[in-house]
């Protein structure tokens, strides 16, 4: 792993090396950006979201038929809701819709006749009375039974096995999701190669901790630590920044409500922060490949998929061919290992609309249902696609990550067909001063923490 080799000579405090300076060549890895499907070619926001649901159901139906046949036998009868008779036991494939009383609704907010107060923002919008409805191409039916309401979310494609009772409700005896898609065979590098995942740099807040960030940059670029550290740092082939490089406070909402003549001369809060970010990125990309994903608070479009930040925002960093701005979600092949991840909006949204608490659990859920962001476009903003749903998992990634999560967690998920995926939740750098190192050879990961504060006096500076 990245940790120092015990056989390696060298301590932090030692005399300057004499003679020739040690030089470490940065390791190289093959790279292919596979995010083409997340880059919008046209921007037509006039369409309805019915298309994306229709396309999602079509695209996933074949996979669910396959999964259903494997689970309940080849001769299981798969029907549409319109063909189903009451009391007949069969399999129905459709999209889940979770009816939630507490779900914020624009119609409720503007219904002034009732004199209702605007709905308060909540951490979670679930309640016990929530219920599930299954929709196929033309019809819908209420679900009861084995499928857990609280952990399910709207937009998931599911196959349910059961029968409709006299009251018209479908009694679910069993259910299944699409099988984990096939995984490309791993051609991992023979030596240790690392990819750094970091998120929420949070530049631009009032209590910036730029020293920690500078330490991280110095460590990656090999200007920190002893020879052993520098040797390890040379094996870092790529840095992926998973969103929220800027702090939330840089989003100046005032200018939207204030009159134009009042805010004419005020510069946007993000301008200074972007300059600082550009400075850090220039240092990093002078040494290593950097992929910058946009996040919730970055100056990018709001709806998923978020488009790459414009190159003009980084006049200094963009001079390097190693600096890449990429979309969110982002998929890439680094040294034969397929990375797929988001800046965390999909996980945060499922957190709000289900009883699931743990972000790693939620991340795993999105992988098992075969869809990166099932709640888009219902509660998570999404572009109104009409001929494809880019969030469907077409192949199983080797590393699947979500940025901007509370703490670092990781897990190896094993699929039925020998798939092996590393799930990682990337912590917020601005709060934890830590990032994640993924070893491409072993597919293991570890946390790298940079501390730049005097911790109650006893532990000065460690990295």
Is the Cβ of residue 55 or residue 76 nearer to other proteins in the bound state? 55
Among 34, 40, 59, 186, binds other proteins (CB under 8 A): 59
Mapping DSSP to helix (H, G, I), strand (E, B) and coil, where does residue 157 land?
A: strand
Among 22, 58, 108, 442, binds other proteins (CB under 8 A): 58
Is the Cβ of residue 139 or residue 142 nearer to other proteins in the bound state? 139
Is the Cβ of residue 54 or residue 443 nearer to other proteins in the bound state? 54
138 binds other proteins (CB under 8 A): yes
Provide Rg for the chain, Cα atoms.
25
Give the pair of three-digit tokens for residue 172.
């679910």
Q: How many CA atoms lie within 13 A of 335 on its CB side?
A: 23
Is the Cβ of residue 61 or residue 352 nearer to other proteins in the bound state? 61
Is the Cβ of residue 44 or residue 207 nearer to other proteins in the bound state? 44
Is the Cβ of residue 316 or residue 386 nearer to other proteins in the bound state? 386
37 binds other proteins (CB under 8 A): no
Please, which residues bridge with residue 141 across strands? Answer: 134
Contact 107, 78 (CB under 8 A): no
Select the span of 51-59, 125-133, 210-218, 342-350 touching other proteins (CB under 8 A).
Answer: 51-59
**How many residues sit close enough to other proteins to count as binding (CB under 8 A)?**
14
Select the span of 367-375, 381-389, 427-435, 451-459 touching other proteins (CB under 8 A).
Answer: 381-389
In the complex, what is the shortest distance from the CB of residue 55 to other proteins, in angstroms, rounded to a whole number?
7
Q: CA nearest 134: which of 88, 103, 181, 91?
A: 91
Query: Order of strands, edge to edge, in the sheet holding 31-33?
Result: 31-33, 330-334, 337-342, 399-405, 420-427, 409-414
Among 20, 25, 190, 387, binds other proteins (CB under 8 A): 387
CA angle 224, 229, 230 (to 5 degrees): 70
For 179-212, letters b (16+ CB in 10 Å) and e give bbbebeeeebbeebbbbbbbbbbbbbeeebbeeb
65 binds other proteins (CB under 8 A): no
Select the span of 26-34, 306-314, 379-387, 393-401 touching other proteins (CB under 8 A).
Answer: 379-387
46 binds other proteins (CB under 8 A): yes
- Cβ neighbors of 416 (< 8 A, separation 6 or more) are 179, 180
83 binds other proteins (CB under 8 A): no
* 320-349: contacts with other proteins (CB under 8 A): none
In the complex, what is the shortest distance from the CB of residue 57 to other proteins, in angstroms, rounded to a whole number?
9
107 binds other proteins (CB under 8 A): no
* 214-273: contacts with other proteins (CB under 8 A): none
In the complex, what is the shortest distance from the CB of residue 375 to other proteins, in angstroms, rounded to a whole number?
20
Among 65, 76, 137, 278, binds other proteins (CB under 8 A): 137
Instruction: Report phi then psi at 214, rounded to 5.
Output: -65, -35
Mapping DSSP to helix (H, G, I), strand (E, B) and coil, where does residue 434 land?
A: strand
Select the span of 180-188, 246-254, 259-267, 383-391 touching other proteins (CB under 8 A).
Answer: 383-391
50 binds other proteins (CB under 8 A): yes
Select the span of 43-51, 120-128, 316-324, 402-410 touching other proteins (CB under 8 A).
Answer: 43-51
CA distances from 146 to 98, 131, 170, 244, 278 (A): 15, 12, 11, 39, 52
Select the span of 35-43, 48-56, 164-172, 252-260 touching other proteins (CB under 8 A).
Answer: 48-56
In the complex, what is the shortest distance from the CB of residue 139 to other proteins, in angstroms, rounded to a whole number?
10
Query: Order of strands, edge to edge, in the sheet holding 194-198?
Result: 323-325, 289-293, 236-242, 194-198, 434-439, 444-449
Separation between Cα atoms, residue 40 and residue 321, nearest integer Å: 23
CA distances from 424 to 11, 236, 306, 329, 347 (A): 32, 18, 21, 15, 12
Is the Cβ of residue 377 or residue 397 nearer to other proteins in the bound state? 377
Among 4, 140, 316, 386, binds other proteins (CB under 8 A): 386
CA angle 115, 118, 120 (to 5 degrees): 140
Q: CA nearest 452: which of 421, 429, 422, 436?
A: 429
66 binds other proteins (CB under 8 A): no
In the complex, what is the shortest distance from the CB of residue 35 to other proteins, in angstroms, rounded to a whole number?
21
Burial class from Cβ neighbours inside 10 Å (0-12, 13-18, 19+) for residue 260 reads exposed
- Does an H or E element contain 66, and which? helix 50-72
In the complex, what is the shortest distance from the CB of residue 63 to other proteins, in angstroms, rounded to a whole number?
13
Q: Where on the chain is the footprint of other proteins (CB under 8 A)?
A: 46-48, 50-51, 54-55, 58-59, 137-138, 384, 386-387
């Amino acid at each position: 792993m990245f940790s120092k080799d015990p056989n390696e000579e060298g301590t932090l405090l030692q005399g300057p090396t004499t003679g020739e300076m040690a030089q470490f060549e940065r390791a190289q890895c093959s790279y292919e950006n596979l995010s083409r499907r997340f880059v919008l070619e046209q921007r037509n926001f006039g369409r309805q979201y019915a298309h994306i649901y229709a396309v999602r159901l079509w695209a996933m139906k074949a996979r669910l038929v396959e999964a259903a046949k494997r689970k309940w036998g080849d001769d299981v009868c798969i029907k549409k809701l319109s063909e189903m008779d009451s009391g007949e036991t069969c399999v129905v494939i459709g999209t889940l819709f979770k009816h939630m009383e507490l779900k914020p609704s624009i119609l409720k907010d503007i219904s002034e006749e009732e004199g209702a107060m605007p709905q308060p923002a909540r951490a979670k919008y679930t309640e016990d009375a929530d219920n599930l409805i299954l929709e196929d191409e033309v019809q819908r039916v209420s679900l009861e039974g084995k499928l857990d309401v609280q952990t399910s979310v709207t937009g998931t494609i599911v196959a349910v096995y059961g029968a409709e009772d006299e009251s018209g409700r479908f009694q679910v005896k069993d259910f299944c999701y699409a099988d984990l898609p096939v995984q490309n065979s791993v051609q991992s590098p023979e030596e240790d190669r690392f990819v750094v995942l970091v998120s929420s740099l949070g530049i631009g807040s009032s209590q910036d901790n730029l020293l920690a960030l500078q330490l991280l940059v110095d460590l990656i670029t090999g200007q920190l630590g002893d020879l052993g550290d520098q040797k390890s740092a040379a094996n870092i082939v790529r840095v992926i920044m998973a969103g929220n490089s800027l702090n939330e406070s840089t989003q100046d909402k005032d200018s939207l409500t204030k009159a134009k003549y009042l805010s004419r001369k005020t510069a946007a809060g993000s301008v200074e922060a972007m300059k600082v970010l550009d400075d850090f990125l220039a240092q990093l990309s002078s040494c290593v490949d950097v992929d910058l994903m946009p996040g919730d608070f970055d100056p990018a479009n709001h709806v998923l998929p978020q488009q790459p930040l414009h190159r003009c925002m980084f006049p200094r960093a963009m001079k390097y061919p190693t600096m890449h701005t990429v979309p969110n979600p982002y998929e890439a092949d680094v040294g034969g290992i397929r990375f797929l991840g988001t800046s965390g909006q999909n996980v945060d949204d499922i957190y709000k609309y289900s009883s699931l608490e743990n972000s790693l659990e939620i991340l795993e859920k999105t992988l098992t249902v075969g869809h990166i962001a099932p709640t888009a476009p219902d509660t998570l903003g999404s572009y109104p696609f009409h001929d494809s749903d880019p969030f469907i998992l077409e192949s199983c990634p080797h590393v699947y990550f979500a940025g901007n999560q509370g703490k670092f967690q990781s897990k190896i998920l094993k699929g039925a067909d020998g798939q092996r995926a590393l799930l990682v939740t990337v912590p917020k750098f601005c709060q934890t001063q830590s990032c994640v190192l993924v070893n491409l050879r072993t597919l293991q990961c570890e946390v790298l923490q940079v501390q730049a504060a005097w911790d109650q006096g006893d532990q000065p500076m460690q990295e």
